[in-house]
Structures are given as C-alpha cells and as structure tokens.
Amino acid sequence: MPFFIIFIRLVINNRKYDIGEHMFNKTKYTKTYYEIVDRSKNRQLTEYKERHHIIPQSLGGSNKKENLTYLTAREHFICHWLLIKMTLGSDKAKMLYALNMMRVKNDLQERYSTKITSRVYENYRKELRKIISKTNKGRIPWNKGGAELTDQQRENIKQAALTRKVDPLRVAEGQRKRIEKVKGQKRTDATRKKMSESHIGKIKGPQSDEHKLAISLASKGIKKKEGHSDNVRNAVKGNISINKDGLEKKVKKDALQSYLDDGWQLGGKKRKLA
C-alpha cells in the first residue's frame, strides 16, 4: 500500500466524503484528497504552512477564498501527488508539471522531502516526457517556421503580463543574485564575436525622447571613466548618418544596406535654420 495512504489513514478519521462533479475521477485518491482538504479547513496551523488551490489554477481554479486552504509542507506534497492519480490526459500533464515544481526550493519555502521521491520523481518525469512528446507530435514551433501567434494570443500574453502580481522585494533580490553570479566574468573573444555577428543586419529603432531623458538623468553627476572619450570615438568611427521621417541615426557600413532597404536615406535629417 502506498505510504501516503497509510499516513492519511493514521491522521484522518475514515468517513464518507461527497466528491461532487468536477474534472477529477471518482477514485480512492480523489476521496483521500478531499479528506485532507476538509481537515485543513477546520484547523489553524501555527507553524510553517503553504497555500494550496483546491482546484488548481491550471485546471481553472480561482483565487477565491473557498478555493484556497493552508497545508503543511508534507500535506501539500501529498495532495499534488494525489492530483496526478485523479486526472487524465492534458490535465494529468499539468499536474505532473506541478509535482515537478514541488521539488523547487528557495529561501522562502521549506519543501517536504522523503526517501522514495527520487524513484517516484523519475517515473513521473518519464511519463511526463511521453505526454509532452505525444501532445507536440507533428507540431512545428512558431519560432521555427510554424504558425505565428494570433493577435488574440499576443493580447492574452500582454494582459497576463500586465495583471501579474510582482513582489518588488523578490525582484530586487533576484536581480542582486544575478549580478553577483556574473560579476567579474569575462567573455572570450569567440563569444564577443558571436554576439557582434548576431546583431549584424538587425534594425535598431532610435531611442525615444523619454528614453534619452531617462539615460541623461541616470548618468547625471557620474564621472566618466578614464579613456571614455576614446572609447566613444572609436565606437562611432566610420559610422554613416542616415535619416527617416525626421529621425536621424548613425550605423555601421556593414549594416547600412538593411536600413536603406527599410526606407532610410543617406545623410542627417534636415535642420531648421536659426
């Protein structure tokens, strides 16, 4: 008998539970899942706890109070394990992803671990791989010649980004860790060459007045490093002035043709006489 069923029987009174109508199958796993949820609704945890969506968000669950509960780390892990056995098809694939994320740790989360999860993890990873392979069979990614994203899909992505809740403290901490990770690293000549070649021919739009003002204010009062003027001079040496619709910029000779093909003209923009 699976260890988590034994655990639940030890801590939960055996009684009937009305599963109701939803996307979950009507098995002992679903019954056990809702017994854990029901038990959590009638208690107050004073130690470490994790918030759990009873109907997972990826399956249409909301953030409303009635769909949320707090579980111990162990109960949370078990519930996500049970969800795999309660679902089928694409829903099961989503629950496999969720279980995989239960192994992710950080400074704000205490993940439950047990001796047998490595074996179970391997089995479910194999199963997840099969589901992904079957789901994507015959599909060509949009960025590799497949169908482009529709306007509606782009709008959905945009709205999701605009409504996403962001914790500024966690963002700042993540940025600090990324900086610490790359601090002091030096790119090889081969890497620099690849980066340079990857930008050849790519049209870069001119900065807006707001962007220029932001850069100016951010750099105000900061003393330039020794040799800065020489670096700037060498960087723009040989650049060619071009203009389009009242805008002006300087580009390298090897990228000039791509701009001309896009409607830009040689020379700087016309200026009003004083």
Give me the pLDDT at residue 36, please. Answer: 93
Q: Which is higher by pLDDT, 177 or 203?
A: 177
pLDDT score at 6: 40
The residues near 223 (Cβ < 8 Å, ≥ 6 apart) are none
Which residues, in sequence order, are bridge partners of residue 79? none
Tokens 């220029």 correspond to what residue?
Answer: 212
Measured CA to CA, the distance from residue 230 to residue 228 in angstroms comes to 5
**Pair of tokens at residue 203:** 């049209």
Per residue in 58-69, pLDDT (tens digit) is 888 888 889 999
pLDDT over 70 (residue 31): yes
Q: Which helix (H) or strand (E) covers residue 182, if one does?
A: helix 168-182
Q: Kindly indicate the confidence band of residue 37, based on its pLDDT and cuts at 50, 70 and 90.
A: very high
What pLDDT, in 10s, does the model give residues 93-128?
A: 888 888 877 766 655 555 555 554 556 666 766 777
Output the pLDDT for position 114: 54
pLDDT higher than threshold 50 for residue 20: no
- Cβ atoms of 242 and 248 within 8 Å: the answer is yes
Number of C-beta neighbours around residue 264 at 10 A: 19
pLDDT band at residue 4 using 50, 70 and 90 as cut-offs: very low
**pLDDT confidence tier of residue 129, bands split at 50, 70 and 90:** confident
What pLDDT, in 10s, does the model give residues 138-178?
777 767 777 777 888 889 888 888 888 888 888 888 888 88
Question: Could you tell me the two tokens for 189?
Answer: 């000549």
Q: How far apart are CA 77 and CA 89, in angstroms?
A: 21
pLDDT value for 108: 54
What per-residue confidence (pLDDT) applies to 19? 39
- pTM score, two decimals? 0.41
The reported pLDDT for the residue numbered 109 is 56
For residues 89 and 108, the answer to whether their CB atoms sit within 8 Å is: no
Which of 41, 49, 35, 44 lies closest to 5 in space, CA to CA?
35
Cβ pair 100, 85 in contact under 8 A: no
pLDDT at 73 over 60: yes
- What confidence score (pLDDT) does residue 249 get? 83
Q: Give the pLDDT score at 273.
A: 60
The SS3 assignment for 50 reads strand
255 DSSP 8-state letter: G
Distance CA 50, CA 272 (A): 65
Share of the chain above pLDDT 70, in %: 82
Mean predicted lDDT score pLDDT of the chain = 79
Partnered with residue 141 across adjacent β-strands are none
Q: Are 262 and 241 in contact (CB under 8 A)?
A: no
Does the structure show a pLDDT above 90 at 33? Answer: yes
Instruction: Please measure the distance between the N-terminal and C-terminal CA atoms of the chain and give it in whole angstroms.
Output: 90
What pLDDT is stored for residue 8 in this prediction?
A: 41
- Rounded CA gap, 89 and 95, in Å? 10
The answer to whether the CB of 112 falls within 8 A of the CB of 74 is: yes
Query: Taking a C-beta distance cutoff of 8 angstroms, is the pair 231, 204 a contact?
Result: no
Q: What is the reported pLDDT for 44?
A: 87
